[in-house]
Structure 1
């Protein structure tokens, strides 16, 4: 009887041991074939997601800086710079890689990780946005420079132009048009002489008295509306013989005028030289 009881106990221990072994094998199979691969997949996904997020953050910061310039509402000299930056930001936003929520299934996690691990380089995109942002910032500065600039600024820029041999600003006591500081009139007007014109053939005792015939004039207005109004007025005399005002071009709130004694090509070239100097960011 005791032997039978002993055998039964032995069988129970053997069965228990087998159950434990089977359970251990099951746990090992679950851990190594399911749990561990899943954990590794999760780790790999998180690492890949972090790497993409880091690059996305750099791009997002670049976009935010550029967008702040657009949001400032400050107008540029060249509106194309605003369009270029707006397009660059839109393209960059569309290009940004999405970081999805981690899937539930291991296979789906691996597939998502592989998508995240595809080559990603925003350096060209960031450089493009930065360049277009700088162009817009420069253009904004350029417009400020030609928005009711001071008389001294005009003189300083005229000094650097080839072919401009002299300059003289009007005063309230010496102003051929009598418009200085009057409502709708110019806030400054600087006449200049040109080496392309024989100054002895132009009537007047000084540059202001010789007027635009001696070379030209840069007239400054408080607003674009005032400048455009003056330009329209001058247009009424285009080609009117001795009343011909010469060429006249609005740049910001400035009107650049050149002598009717210059050829059309000379007028165009001189106007461009003056424009370039006025908008040059130094």
Structure 2
């Protein structure tokens, strides 16, 4: 009986277990299927919006680039700085407005759907909830799939960017041009004048040297830079304006001498001393030769006397060398005279000393020649230095021209009217023109065409922005 009860209980347990397993397995399978279906839809959706989002991102980047250019240009335009050509500001403002009109709205990007995974559970209710959630999510994906718009085209703003940047550059250059000819400093004007090939030199007026007396005066200029043009005949200009360049001070020469190598200086002094000793030896040799000549007169001619005469001749040669080295002329002459007379054998020893003196004197002559070469090189260096100092301000406008710098355009225009009063008279000022606050003048000693071309060249250099 007991065994039968155990068997029945075991059967019931097996049935219950089988039913439980079946229900869990069925629920798990259903949930897994719903999740897989959702993931497939989500994957398809994400692939479609990926291309759309990439285009939207490119549009946003293009907009950002254009907006950056517009912000920079707009900030400059808002400063409303005066320009040499006022229309450049108008063109910049127009280019900004046109570019702003081409901006497209960057589309909103779509968020991708996340993938789902089956959560392990032995609870049928939990599995059924996962299935239900997956089914609902799949429905949402299908609905979202129908709302994906067409992939937008990425705009090309390169034309608008170039137009704005070109307009901005033109405006900036125009502002710089105006600054160049509105009360510029003397050094700026001088630098621009020196860029002209025919301009030799420039000079700015000072309170101490101002031919017109207008510097810093009411209605006068704040600066004036004269220049010398190589085409103007110098014979027509004041001679006193062209001064010879001053020689170097003696102190500089002394300093140059002190720069010599001390060892070389000592050697030169020793050679000079030896040369002096050689001259003394030559003089002594000459005296000895004279004494020998007296002895030869009292005695008969012999072969020994002939030999002595040859030695005396050598003494004459030594004396000649000493004379070439700048030694005593009288000593050399005495030595030479003694060579024409007969001498005693004793004069041979003296002749050898004289020969040695001649060698030393030759060395001294070489040193003297080297010194002459060095002096010649220094002289050539001096010749390469400027031979004259030109007082361009003293010469004035007739030397080439001038640029007079006034504080206002009204003052510059008043100066023009004043100069016009002298046109065609004996005090003809030459050609002139005004560029904002600068009065540009050319020498009357240039012909009419040269004056006109020079003024235009100066105007061009003053306005150059050196891009």
State TM-score, norm by structure 2.
Answer: 0.46
- The aligned counterpart of 2:457 is 273
* 2:450 pairs with 1:249: no
Report the CA distance shift for 1:227/1:39 in structure 2 as closer, same or farther (over 3 A). Answer: same
SS at match of 1:97: coil
1:231–1:249 Cα contact (<8 Å) kept: yes
What CA distance in whole angstroms lies between the structure 1 residues aligned with 2:162 and 2:187? 37
- The aligned counterpart of 1:21 is none
Segments of 5+ residues of structure 1 without an aligned counterpart are 1-27
- The aligned counterpart of 1:52 is 59
What CA distance in whole angstroms lies between the structure 2 residues aligned with 1:72 and 1:158? 32
What CA distance in whole angstroms lies between the structure 1 residues aligned with 2:145 and 2:426? 88
What CA distance in whole angstroms lies between the structure 2 residues aligned with 1:108 and 1:257? 76
One of 174, 180, 183 as aligned partner of 1:145: 180
Report the CA distance shift for 1:194/1:108 in structure 2 as closer, same or farther (over 3 A). Answer: farther
SS at match of 1:177: coil
Q: Which has the higher contact order (CA 8 A, sep 6+)?
A: 2
* Higher normalized helix content (fraction of residues): 2
What CA distance in whole angstroms lies between the structure 1 residues aligned with 2:452 and 2:145? 71
* 2:412 pairs with 1:227: yes
- The aligned counterpart of 1:212 is 397
State TM-score, norm by structure 1.
Answer: 0.72
SS at match of 1:192: strand
Aligned residues: 249
What CA distance in whole angstroms lies between the structure 2 residues aligned with 1:175 and 1:220? 13
Q: Describe the superposition over 1:34-78 as per-residue Cα deviations: whole angstroms up to 9, x where unpaired.
A: x99999988776654443232122111101101111111222233
Deviation at 1:101? 8.6
- The aligned counterpart of 1:110 is 149
Deviation at 1:203? 4.8
One of 200, 211, 215 as aligned partner of 1:176: 211
Report the CA distance shift for 1:172/1:46 in structure 2 as closer, same or farther (over 3 A). Answer: same
1:179–1:186 Cα contact (<8 Å) kept: yes
1:77–1:252 Cα contact (<8 Å) kept: no
Report the CA distance shift for 1:260/1:47 in structure 2 as closer, same or farther (over 3 A). Answer: same
Q: Describe the superposition over 1:220-266 as per-residue Cα deviations: whole angstroms up to 9, x where unpaired.
A: 112222222222332343x3232332222222321111123333332
Q: How does 1:1-282 map to 2 (within 5 A)?
A: 48-99=55-106, 110=149, 113=151, 116-117=152-153, 120-203=155-238, 205-206=240-241, 207-237=392-422, 239-281=423-465
What CA distance in whole angstroms lies between the structure 2 residues aligned with 1:82 and 1:209? 44
Report the CA distance shift for 1:256/1:49 in structure 2 as closer, same or farther (over 3 A). Answer: same
What CA distance in whole angstroms lies between the structure 1 residues aligned with 2:99 and 2:211? 55
What CA distance in whole angstroms lies between the structure 1 residues aligned with 2:431 and 2:105? 56
Cα RMSD for the two superposed structures: 3.5
What CA distance in whole angstroms lies between the structure 1 residues aligned with 2:218 and 2:148? 72
Report the CA distance shift for 1:240/1:109 in structure 2 as closer, same or farther (over 3 A). Answer: farther
Deviation at 1:281? 3.6
SS at match of 2:440: strand
SS at match of 2:163: helix
2:56–2:108 Cα contact (<8 Å) kept: no
